[in-house]
Amino acid sequence: MKFLLSAFEPFGNSTINASMAAIRILESTIADAGYVTQMVLLPVVHREAGRILISHIEEFSPDVVICFGEAGGRAQISLEKVAVNLCDFRIADNLGNKLMDVPIREDGPVAYFATLPLRLIEQGLSARGIPVEVSLTAGGFLCNEVFYTLMDYLSITGSRAVAGFVHLPILPEAAAEKRVNLPSMSASVTSTAIRAILDIVQQSIDQI
């Protein structure tokens, strides 16, 4: 089974992104786990992030695509259920683009649902003592844009790949850097959670 995992570069005033840190730890520890994986770091740039992700899907032909990002203010790992056809940026992306009330695809469906086994993942992470929730909003920034672009591409191409998006809390060092009192989670915990997600997804698909 082939997994494509994506993370984002830092954005805003941060020098690190929780998803990038977790994926880097996972990348260095997963070699002996028997998974066939490809990791991709996405820019926080309108259209470009989705374009790069799709190019990796076309090249790698994964069975599972899981995109990761960070969400300041969230205390739990958020398993995103819905991607909406909307760009509504609270802040500018890393090239200064700031869109409001703009569809991701002009004639696209209003929304897509993730095809990951979210409830099984939620139960599995909870059983491991990792704070987790199923979320109904991926926001209006690049995380949602990439999530929607991913699901739209899979729908249009008829791909049977299982896919979705997961938000991670910010890192403790990021909260310290920003000098804000926000919930946080260490990269070691989030990388452990990601490894567990891979296990749960693989077991789920193997049982079909």
**Catalytically active residues, by annotation:** 80, 143, 167
Closest listed residue to residue 85, CA positions, set 63, 102, 61: 102
CA torsion angle 12 182 85 90 (round to 10): -40
- Provide the 3-class DSSP secondary structure of residue 137: coil
Closest listed residue to residue 161, CA positions, set 77, 42, 48, 38: 38
**Residue ranges in the chain assigned as alpha helix (H):** 18-29, 48-60, 118-127, 142-157, 172-178, 187-206
Place of tokens 């994986």: 37
CA torsion angle 166 75 189 140 (round to 10): 30
What is the CA angle 36-141-129, rounded to 5? 55
Closest listed residue to residue 130, CA positions, set 169, 171, 182: 169
Total length of the chain? 208
